[in-house]
């Protein structure tokens, strides 16, 4: 019992190949009763279009754009490098990738970049969203132009993006709290929190998850207000140093994102005793080094390779009108310590 083809459907429905084709590809000129007969036959035979044959025939190309923030953010640059590296692999599957950058921490500039995308040249977009109304509008415009849109790493659930590729950041924050809380078991004192900007939805969500668990399960730990470093190592260093001088009882540090280098520079210099436990996000080359050197205790990570492959799978499925395999597309919250570095 090989899988059924259009021929089988045509035979079963008592119509010609041409008619099945018209139904299948939504061309007009088919009476609704005939269409119903064809659809019934497809259902009865459990017919599924052979995507490979279809793409071969169609000579389809998937032209996808990744829109990333510019700047020195190591994590973003690693995404960029990974896209470059995967480009050739994807071209074998007729997927062409393009990287487009837009100024970080600047909603208007990102919106303008999105507006400039030409629907004739792009079939799908994966973007690192920032939480601003103009982005929502830009995504709406893209969708209206027939471009499929997914968000990457940082979501914008109020927009009509069709999927989010990234971790559940509230869960990530809860995980950080679970680790830091257990690491500090027995101690009491303060926990410092460093982020890039609370305007970034992913950072805000992590903080919220972190606070939930800290409040409920580790009330003996006093979570301090967030330091916003805007991805500038010097700024993080200044603010965090001042913070640590002011709060001599810091036993743990949570770096929510975009500030790892600053934290790594500050902690050893302050010569604290006992050494605070440090949990950070994103296993960049810096984070890896600090894990090995013992400055960082755990890194919470999202696998960049998985995310890019997931974004490509989801976008091509959306373009084809295929269903998305949810279980396959869930991005894991990974935890690394120096013992399980890849």
> CA-based diameter of the chain, in Å?
83
Distance CA(81)–CA(86), nearest Å, equals 9
177 binds, among its own copies, DNA, none (CB under 5 to 8 A by kind): its own copies
Q: Which is nearer to its own copies, 52 or 120 (CB)?
A: 52
When binding is defined by CB under 8 A, the residue of 34, 55, 101, 241 that contacts its own copies is 55
220 binds, among its own copies, DNA, none (CB under 5 to 8 A by kind): none
Return the sign of the alpha-carbon dihedral for residues 197, 203, 208, 213. negative
Taking residues 56 to 95 in sequence order and writing x for each that binds DNA by CB under 7 A, - otherwise, the string is xxxx------------------------------------
CB 153 within 8 A of CB 205: no
Residue with tokens 């799978």: 313
Distance CA(25)–CA(106), nearest Å, equals 42
Structure tokens belonging to residue 158: 């109020």
Q: What is the DSSP letter of 330?
A: P
325 binds, among its own copies, DNA, none (CB under 5 to 8 A by kind): its own copies
- C-alpha triplet 73, 74, 80: angle, nearest 5°: 95
Q: Is 340 in the site for its own copies (CB under 8 A)?
A: yes
When binding is defined by CB under 7 A, the residue of 22, 174, 261, 281 that contacts DNA is 22
Q: Is 84 in the site for its own copies (CB under 8 A)?
A: no
Q: What is the DSSP letter of 148?
A: E
Distance CA(97)–CA(215), nearest Å, equals 44
- C-alpha triplet 90, 94, 100: angle, nearest 5°: 65
Q: Which is nearer to DNA, 57 or 185 (CB)?
A: 57
- Binding residues for DNA restricted to 23-52, rule: CB under 7 A: 24-25, 28-31, 33-35, 47, 49-50
Least CB distance from residue 203 to its own copies, whole Å? 17
Least CB distance from residue 331 to its own copies, whole Å? 10
Distance CA(124)–CA(148), nearest Å, equals 5
Least CB distance from residue 27 to DNA, whole Å? 8
Q: Which is nearer to its own copies, 3 or 27 (CB)?
A: 3
Residues that bind DNA (CB under 7 A): 2, 5-7, 14-19, 21-22, 24-25, 28-31, 33-35, 47, 49-50, 53-54, 56-59
């Amino acid at each position: 019992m090989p899988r059924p083809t259009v021929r089988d459907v045509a035979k079963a429905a008592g119509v010609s190949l041409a008619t099945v084709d018209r139904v299948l590809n939504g061309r007009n000129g088919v009476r609704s009763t005939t269409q119903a007969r064809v659809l019934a036959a497809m259902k009865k035979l459990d017919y599924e279009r052979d995507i490979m044959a279809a793409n071969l025939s169609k000579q389809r190309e998937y032209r996808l754009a990744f829109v990333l923030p510019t700047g020195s953010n190591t994590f973003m640059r690693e995404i960029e490098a990974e896209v470059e590296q995967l480009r050739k692999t994807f071209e074998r599957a007729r997927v062409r990738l393009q990287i487009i950058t837009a100024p970080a921490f600047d909603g208007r500039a990102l919106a303008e970049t999105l507006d400039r995308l030409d629907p004739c040249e792009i079939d799908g977009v994966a973007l690192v969203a920032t939480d601003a109304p103009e982005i929502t509008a830009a995504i709406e415009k893209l969708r209206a132009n027939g471009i499929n849109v997914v968000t990457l790493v940082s979501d914008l659930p109020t927009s009509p993006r069709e999927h989010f590729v990234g971790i559940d950041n509230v869960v990530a924050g809860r995980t950080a709290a679970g680790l830091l809380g257990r690491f500090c078991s027995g101690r009491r004192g303060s926990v410092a929190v460093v982020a890039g900007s609370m305007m970034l939805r992913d950072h805000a969500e992590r903080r919220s998850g972190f606070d939930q668990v800290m409040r409920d399960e580790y009330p003996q730990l006093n979570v301090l207000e967030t330091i916003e470093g805007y991805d500038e190592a010097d700024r993080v260093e200044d603010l965090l140093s001042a913070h640590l001088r002011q709060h001599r009882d810091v036993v743990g540090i949570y770096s929510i994102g975009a500030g790892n280098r600053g934290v790594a520079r500050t902690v050893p210099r302050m010569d604290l005793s006992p050494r605070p436990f440090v949990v950070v996000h994103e296993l960049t080359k810096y984070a890896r080094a600090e894990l090995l050197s013992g400055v960082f205790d755990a890194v919470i990570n999202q696998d960049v390779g998985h995310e890019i492959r997931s974004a490509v799978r989801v976008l091509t499925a959306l373009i084809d009108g295929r269903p998305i395999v949810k279980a396959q597309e869930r991005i894991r919250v990974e935890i690394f310590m120096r013992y399980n570095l890849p």
